[in-house]
Amino acid sequence: MTAYDWILFDSTGTLMTPEPEPARAYHTAATALGAATALGSEHALEEVRQNLKAAMKRHFFGDTVDQPTDETAERRRWQRIVTDTLGNLPERHAKRVFDSLWNHFASADTWRLYEDVLAVLERLKSKGYAIAVASNFDLRLQTILEGMGITHHFDAVLISSQLGWSKPSTRFYDAAVGRIGITDRSRLLMIGDTKQGDVDAARQAGLDARLLVRDRPDALAELTNDL
């Protein structure tokens, strides 16, 4: 008998990563559309990087944690993140920059699977585990996974915009459990790279959880080698 019935994986930072890094994509989009004349330096790129980090924390882990979400709410969340990150955008450019970034991150070509992912998924499936993605995202994630040609590895794709709640709310996990139809939550393992959302919240909801630290090419393989 396997240790768990289901293994749930976060997406970004766990299974895949955007290339180029998001801050550079923001920097490039704003500059390419002529939206900001002061973004041409590496110093400006570092400012964008820090602004984006703070905006992500504010809008995913701030006062919106216990607010329901859907496709519209997720799009608005990302509009606020773009605005906070590139706060010096003239209003006439803001929509064009946001639309450019929204479409950029919807493309599978923007994303790269970590090199150990496919082998881990194939090994776990061969051992009888059901596999799911459990991610703060919107329906673009379905398009990305399809574009990568990896949807067949997953028995469920659990997206915050469809579940109605985002991590780190424990309601995200309540909805995920309901979606896959399992009653014994101890038989679910969540794996992700964010302690508050992927580990602490999952454990509070009754799941087991492991924190992934992407400090080596085979980090996921090492974390799951006992399964």
The CATH number of residue 197's host domain is: 3.40.50.1000
Chosen domain end from 93, 109, 125: 109
| Residues 12 and 122 grouped into a single domain | yes
Helix (H, G, I), strand (E, B) or coil at 56: helix
Q: For position 41, what pLDDT does the model report?
A: 54
Domain containing residue 26: 19-109
| Residues 121 and 200 grouped into a single domain | yes
% of the chain with per-residue pLDDT over 70: 95
Chosen domain end from 91, 109, 127: 109
Q: For position 64, what pLDDT does the model report?
A: 80
Q: For position 39, what pLDDT does the model report?
A: 52
| Residues 12 and 45 grouped into a single domain | no
Q: For position 145, what pLDDT does the model report?
A: 98
The average pLDDT across 198-226 equals 97
Residues pairing with 130 in the sheet: 6
User: What is the band of 42 on the pLDDT scale with cuts at 50, 70, 90?
Assistant: low
Report whether pLDDT(52) > 90: yes
Report whether pLDDT(89) > 80: no
Angle 85-90-94 from CA coordinates, rounded to 5°: 60
Domain-embedded: residue 1: no
Domain count within the chain: 2
The average pLDDT across 124-151 equals 97
Q: For position 87, what pLDDT does the model report?
A: 79
Report whether pLDDT(33) > 60: yes
More confident residue, 44 or 193: 193
Report whether pLDDT(199) > 60: yes
Average pLDDT over the chain, rounded to whole?
92
| Residues 122 and 210 grouped into a single domain | yes
Q: What counts of helices (H) and strands (E) characterise the chain?
A: 10, 7
DSSP state of 12: B
